[in-house]
């Protein structure tokens, strides 16, 4: 009887094995390791080499706007023509080239033979836009690939959770590299700062490219979208999604989750070194603790048998943890800075919960509507990028200018941006999550074929 039931279930509904999940999960490592450096150190790096906080925010915003527009374009083109892996490799090439051109020094200054302030600002803004264009192409192709690889719901969430776990690995690798570089090269002058980040950039790109090879060798081009039964269906228009209440709910939750994680990550280096007055190594150690805890929580999450009710419940738990930890970060005095270590652990767990569950909700929104999945992932990423760029630009507009090597006292902007503002976003997430009315489909999805990690 069991064999007869298994035969009645389509092959695509059977759970995936360990290797397909793991090889897919490493496919975003280059994006993740460069993104970790981007959000944690870009604003700090640009201000340390002499850009005003507002101009540093302009560089960040130019990248975010380019990313947001590219997500829409990439989503539309992938929905029309497919070729997920081609978009993935093309975007990865742009990421590697432009990332080294930002943290490796001002390439435009070298080409024009001048180091003027305007040329530096324009040069960094241009390559920030190129970086984010490549990043968006890689991200949309990688995320939208999930729904066209498998129909099994548990396997879909396992793919998203494995991807998130390797996001944590990428962040840990980045902070390990940063810790080693900051220890080996002391920043006595602004030129030393450029050398520090150049080494971080080159090592990050090399490691990311190694995982890129594993992904392209171990992951096949998804076939569900190109099968006969899928071809018979017309391509889903944008209007179809705009008529669904769930689309707006998931879009808001995804945007808020990214605002929580990205805004806090972008300002935490300022917060620990300037507000809490911790040592130079803390700007690598504290983020590393956050992502280490996120990694372990993600490992646990990818072993769970998922349904929509559980997604909503764990999202609520993650947002609640962020409300508590964010308020604690906001009121934490510099004399008690050692409490930041346990707070970082709570933040890491909360980040994993809100990230995995919101990506899982994206997959639940798409369901089996494969002919429009790339638009969903692209449009939600558009909201994420634009909102994060605007939020950071507004915050940095109130930041005080800091010269290279200068220290400062308590800073309201980074304290708000690392603690209170993410907590407010978490409260909004709780409100939106309470309005979700999700129904689970027939329980045809079994657990994974084998544990992902033993």
319: tokens are 């947002």
Q: Is the pTM of this model over 0.85?
A: no
Residue 8 in any domain: the answer is: no
- 124 is a domain residue: yes
CA separation for the pair 161, 356 (Å, rounded): 6
Q: Is residue 442 part of a domain?
A: no
pLDDT at residue 392 tops 60: yes
Q: Are residues 171 and 292 in the same domain?
A: no
On whether both 171 and 250 belong to a single domain, the answer is no
pLDDT in tens, 135-168: 989 988 888 787 777 777 677 777 877 887 788 7
- Quickly count: other Cβ atoms within 10 Å of residue 209's Cβ: 15
The CATH number covering residue 46 comes to 1.20.1250.20
Task: Identify whether residues 276 and 378 lie together within a single domain.
Answer: yes
Average pLDDT of the residues in 74-96: 85
CA distance 79 to 147: 12
Categorize the per-residue pLDDT at 445 as very low, low, confident or very high, splitting at 50, 70 and 90. Answer: very low
Question: How many domains are there within the chain?
Answer: 2
Residue 448 lies in a domain: no
Same domain, 266 and 389: yes
Q: Do 192 and 293 fall into the same domain? A: no
- Tell whether 9 is covered by a domain: no
- The pLDDT, as a whole number, for residue 205 is 94
103 and 180 belong to one structural domain: yes
Q: Residue range 423-437: average pLDDT?
A: 91
| Residues spanned by the domain of 373 | 241-399+411-436
Q: Which of 48-57, 153-162, 286-295 has the lowest mean pLDDT?
A: 153-162
Closest listed residue to residue 39, CA positions, set 351, 291, 285, 266: 266
Cβ partners under 8 Å of residue 207, min gap 6: 29, 33, 173, 177
């Amino acid at each position: 009887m069991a064999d007869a039931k298994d035969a009645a279930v389509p092959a695509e509904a059977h759970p995936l094995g360990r290797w397909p999940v793991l090889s897919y999960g490493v496919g975003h490592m280059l994006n993740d390791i460069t993104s970790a450096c981007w959000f944690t150190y870009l604003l700090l790096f640009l201000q340390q080499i002499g850009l005003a906080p507002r101009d540093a925010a302009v560089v960040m915003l130019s990248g975010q706007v380019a990313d947001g527009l590219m997500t829409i374009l990439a989503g539309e083109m992938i929905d029309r023509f497919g070729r997920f892996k081609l978009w993935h490799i093309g975007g990865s090439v742009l990421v590697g080239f432009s990332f080294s051109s930002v943290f490796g020094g001002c390439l435009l200054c070298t080409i024009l033979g001048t180091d003027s302030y305007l040329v530096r600002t324009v040069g960094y803004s241009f390559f920030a836009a190129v970086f984010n264009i490549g990043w968006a192409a890689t991200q949309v192709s990688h995320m939208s690939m999930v729904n066209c690889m498998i129909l099994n719901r548990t396997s879909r969430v396992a793919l998203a959770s494995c991807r998130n776990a390797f996001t944590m690995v990428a962040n840990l690798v980045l902070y390990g590299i940063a810790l080693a570089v900051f220890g080996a090269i002391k920043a006595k002058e602004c030129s030393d700062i450029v050398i520090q980040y150049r080494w971080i950039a080159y090592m990050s790109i090399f490691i990311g490219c190694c995982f890129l090879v594993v992904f392209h060798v171990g992951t096949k081009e998804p076939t569900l979208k190109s099968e006969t039964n899928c071809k018979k269906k017309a391509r889903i228009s944008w209007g179809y999604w705009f008529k669904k209440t769930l689309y707006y709910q998931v879009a808001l939750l995804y945007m808020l989750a990214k605002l929580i994680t990205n805004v806090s990550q972008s300002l935490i280096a300022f917060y620990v070194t300037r507000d809490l007055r911790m040592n130079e190594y803390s700007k690598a150690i504290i983020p590393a603790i956050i992502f280490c805890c996120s990694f372990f929580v993600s490992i646990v999450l990818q072993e769970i048998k998922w349904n929509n009710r559980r997604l909503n419940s764990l999202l609520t738990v993650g947002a609640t943890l962020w409300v508590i930890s964010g308020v604690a970060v906001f009121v934490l005095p510099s004399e008690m800075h050692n409490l930041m270590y346990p707070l970082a652990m709570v933040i890491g767990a909360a980040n994993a919960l809100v990230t995995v569950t919101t990506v899982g909700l994206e997959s639940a929104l798409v369901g089996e509507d494969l002919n429009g999945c790339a638009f969903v992932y692209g449009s939600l990423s558009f909201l994420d990028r634009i909102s994060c760029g605007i939020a950071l630009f507004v915050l940095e507009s109130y930041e005080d200018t800091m010269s290279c090597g200068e220290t400062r006292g308590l800073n309201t902007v980074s304290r708000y941006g690392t603690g209170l503002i993410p907590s407010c976003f978490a409260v909004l997430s709780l409100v939106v999550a309470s309005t979700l009315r999700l129904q689970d489909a027939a329980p045809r999805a079994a657990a994974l074929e084998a544990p992902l990690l033993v």
